[in-house]
Amino acid sequence: MSGIHRIGVLTAGGDCPGLNAVIRAVAKTAMNRYNLEVYGIEDGFLGLIQNRMHPLTNESVSNILTLGGTILGTNNRVTPRSYPVTTNGVTENRDVTDRCLEHIAHNQLDAIVVIGGDGSMTVTSHFVRIGVNCIGVPKTIDNDLFGTDVTFGFATAVSIATEALDRVHTTAASHHRAMVVEVMGRNAGWIALHAGVATGTDVILIPEIPYDIDKVCQYVLARSRRGKRFSMICVSEGARSKEGGQVVKRIDTTSADPIRLGGIGQKVAFDIEAATRIETRTVILGHVQRGGTPVAADRVLATEFGGAAVELLVAGERGRLVVMKGGIVTHIPLEEAANKQRLVPLDLPLLLMARNIGTCFGD
């Protein structure tokens, strides 16, 4: 079994429906099929830095398949290559990779399963390059991890966004308003596109297609003139106009990823109302899309991914990322996914179909 006796597992980055399903699959496959020991690393890479980890048992990972969040905790603010260290009252960011290596050796971990998105895989690729045996599992509700057709968590986020759009639709129709629903999607518009198509949303604004607010307003007015007394607009948080960039809510200098987006939904609503005189309201879904019980598709996908990660380790694979390609669970070099994102292609059949049925993308 390629010298694998004890493995660690951690969840990094933002929380996501299905994380516990992966932890469960990794732990139970390793323990029950291959008699391996499994350690849970707490709060993502922070637990690796601070040497916070504990043994997992069948009991500790039972009955967690349906739970949202992660029993191990997570962290999206620190990275081992730039960690704040205070010396003599002075705090500066330092590379503490050596500290992580000491903790890996101290706990006798032969390999680590890292469950995370593009940022987490970028961090993991650094450990792979210096010789740590890591297997990645793709996680993100944004569905933007390079190399895989789908990530777990995406189906649940789309389901939540779809239900919200359906509910807002009835309010828009009743009050004859334009309603703007802002969903997650920092650089990739997968959630807005899928939820928008699923609900027959009139306007979908995604980061990949800079929008012209004049064309959006003309579209809304044209609907009104045809007797459509309301309009639904779904906006990715990272959508941008042709004249400007993304709307930044604030800068968090204490975070490894300091830009915090927010406000595009309110901006679009303000612009529509100002230009059309149609009453326009905004709903921001935010972290609601991350929480709660994963849908069945995510539970199944997460279980497949977690089990496949252990099988790769036992087979002697190193530095691989579990992916879904053409409906088949397979794997690619983990470093291929580092520093990359999977954006919505402009020739995507779903996007072209949405255009054909009259959906406006603001261009």
Catalytic residues: 142
Look up residue 261 and give its two tokens. 């987006």
- DSSP-derived secondary structure letter, 327: T
Residue 88: how many CB atoms within 10 A of its CB? 4
User: Residue 319 and residue 306: Cα distance in Å, rounded?
Assistant: 15
Q: Spell out the alpha helix ranges (H) of 29-184.
A: 34, 45-50, 97-106, 118-129, 154-175
Taking a C-beta distance cutoff of 8 angstroms, is the pair 314, 4 a contact? yes
User: Residue 321 and residue 310: Cα distance in Å, rounded?
Assistant: 12
User: Residue 139 and residue 152: Cα distance in Å, rounded?
Assistant: 6
Nearest Cα neighbor of 322 from 115, 72, 17 is 115
In sequence order, what are the beta bridge partners of 82?
Answer: 79
Look up residue 97 and give its two tokens. 């990779």
Nearest Cα neighbor of 14 from 100, 139, 170 is 139
Residue 363: how many CB atoms within 10 A of its CB? 13
Look up residue 59 and give its two tokens. 């009991």
